[in-house]
Structure 1
Amino acid sequence: MRIPWASWLLAACMGTTINASNILEVDLVFPRNETYAPTEWFPVVFAVQNPERARYLNLGLEYILWNLDDSNDVRPFTHELRWANWTDKNPYLAHEFTGMFRNEGRWKVTWTLMWESCNEYAFENHRDVRNMISNMTSWSTWFTTQSTAPKVDLVAATANKTCLGQYGMAINVTDKTMQVPQGVTWSGGGYTNDTCVVVASSTQTPRPDPCRVDIDKTIVASMEASLKNRLCNWLDPPADCPKDDKNAGQQLAVAGVSCLLAAFGALGFFLM
């Protein structure tokens, strides 16, 4: 993957504040460089600000959770963003709950953002190129869990408008789109009708601002309801699930056993 010159990557902790409508910003909103109480289900939340600018970038977002006290405890995650509805909400929130942080410890989250843009000069001048302009950058955040620390509270965490030591990526996405020529390798073509967008270089580096993202009680309730629905549809649902959800999980297990028995029955029939 080609890593472009630094001017293509508009991301840093220092510089001018982002306020232009053509700036796409991606931030790790939670966790931050802080200490939290261990919890059964811990949220990891990313925000895409001005998300309509991501439409033609073929964004990819991956992250790894590291247990710094146990080198064997490493878990990778990926957010599938190519089918995201970028015009629905601003910011667009990508989140996941993990059961990794149920004990005290020291942790690190390393996240990588990838995107692709038009090779404007090559495409306009019909140069023989086979690839898009590919971009990739990574950041890491360290945090701890201690039993004496405050409980995880997304509303309170994002109400704090001081984000010292927090990093994000900002990309200057222009209004110019282009049709990707035949023969150019691009995994995003099927999601964008083979349309790419030109990313501008800049002499200034805007400063990403994760503190602009607020997560209110309604959003938290929606996240928790989604988690509860997933847990209640497992084969071993929690005790506080609605009765219908429990029955659905149990019926799924019975159906699986029935199908297995039916398969063995059919095999016995054919062997007779």
Structure 2
Amino acid sequence: MGASSHVRFAFAALMASLMTVMGDKSASPTLPATFEVDLLFPRNETYAPSWLMPVVFAIQNPSLAVPLSASIQWSMWEGNSTRSPGHIGGGGFDVDGDVRTATSTPKNPYMLSGAVNTISYPDGVWTLAWYVQYNICGGPTHSENFTTVFTVSKSGKAIDLEAATSSDVCGAAQAQAFNITSPWGCGMLGPSPTTNPCAATIDSAAASSLSALARATGAICTSYSSNLTCLDPSPPPGQPSAANPRVVAASTLLTLLAALGALIHLA
């Protein structure tokens, strides 16, 4: 993997870390408790092309990611082949690392978001494949594989993160839950619990924050996405050009830019 790829991966992880909502001091849940990962967006629907098509996961009880060493691994491709020009391979969020390094306790549920550019493919079928990777008893393993198929079309509807988690559709979200019965050890997992994706919703404030941060930083892509626009804060004509300063604090953006500069220097 080249230096630019390392920067892209590190930048994506940095963006995920910045999604921690400051000031929530909720304690770790009393065991047994459920650790759950929900795919909030996209859904099996038809969307208009966007230079920032979001991929949004919610983590319920994020502190429990630490004993699991949990991460989310995902890939996305356009068309019928994972080798297509629109292929994005090796996407992921290091949930365990984000929780360990957060400067305050992550909000519950904890939102993780990336974005990809579908402008170059205004009409087509896309596939998002994902799973939860975790580590117990000395070896990595992963949950069942999930696949979501969605369509991009010029006649598709605009992206609406709030509507994607409304009460009438939230129960259909893809989700994986783990029953954590003890903090460590091979016997830490109990029988798989029933998932509850409706406990993770995107309200107007969260939707504005996700959209504003994406607009401020540009599309986030990975090493196989050479045909997409990556790390480009300049949108195409007619697209939003800047974050709303009332949503994203200047200090957050300065921290992000400083960190990105450091990553480029190290690479």
Q: TM-score, normalised by structure 1?
A: 0.61
* Counterpart contact for 1:167–1:208, Cα < 8 Å: no
Alignment partners' CA distance in 1, 2:44 and 2:211: 23
Q: Pick from 59, 74, 77: which aligns with 1:63?
A: 74
SS of the residue corresponding to residue 108 of structure 1 reads strand
- Look up the match of 2:209: 222
Rate the CA distance shift 1:28–1:220 in 2: closer, same or farther, 3 A.
same
- Look up the match of 1:96: 114
- Look up the match of 1:177: 184
Give yes or no for the alignment of 1:48 onto 2:48: no
Alignment partners' CA distance in 2, 1:211 and 1:34: 18
Q: Percent identity?
A: 27
Q: Which amino acid aligns with 2:111?
A: L
Larger Rg: 1
* Counterpart contact for 2:32–2:181, Cα < 8 Å: no
SS of the residue corresponding to residue 100 of structure 1 reads coil
- The structure in which a higher percent of residues are strand is 1
* Counterpart contact for 1:24–1:48, Cα < 8 Å: yes
Offset of 1:58 from its aligned partner? 0.7
Offset of 1:133 from its aligned partner? 6.6
Rate the CA distance shift 1:34–1:231 in 2: closer, same or farther, 3 A.
closer
Q: Pick from 44, 47, 52: which aligns with 1:33?
A: 44
Rate the CA distance shift 1:35–1:160 in 2: closer, same or farther, 3 A.
farther
Alignment partners' CA distance in 1, 2:64 and 2:232: 40
Rate the CA distance shift 1:212–1:236 in 2: closer, same or farther, 3 A.
closer
Q: TM-score, normalised by structure 2?
A: 0.62
Q: How does 1:125-144 map to 2 (within 5 A)?
A: 131-132=138-139, 134-144=141-151
SS of the residue corresponding to residue 26 of structure 1 reads strand
Offset of 1:40 from its aligned partner? 2.1
Give yes or no for the alignment of 1:83 onto 2:97: yes
Stretch deviating more after TM superposition (215-224 or 83-92):
83-92
Q: Which amino acid aligns with 1:214?
A: T
Q: Which amino acid aligns with 2:99?
A: N
Alignment partners' CA distance in 2, 1:241 and 1:224: 10
Alignment partners' CA distance in 1, 2:189 and 2:80: 42
Q: How many pairs were matched up?
A: 194
Q: Which amino acid aligns with 2:93?
A: H
Gaps of at least 5 residues in structure 1 are 1-19, 120-130, 179-196, 253-272
Q: Which amino acid aligns with 1:63?
A: W
Q: Which amino acid aligns with 1:140?
A: T
Alignment partners' CA distance in 2, 1:200 and 1:235: 42
SS of the residue corresponding to residue 207 of structure 1 reads coil
Offset of 1:148 from its aligned partner? 2.4
Offset of 1:212 from its aligned partner? 2.5
Offset of 1:147 from its aligned partner? 2.3
- Look up the match of 2:87: 74
Alignment partners' CA distance in 1, 2:114 and 2:46: 19
Rate the CA distance shift 1:56–1:168 in 2: closer, same or farther, 3 A.
same
SS of the residue corresponding to residue 85 of structure 1 reads helix
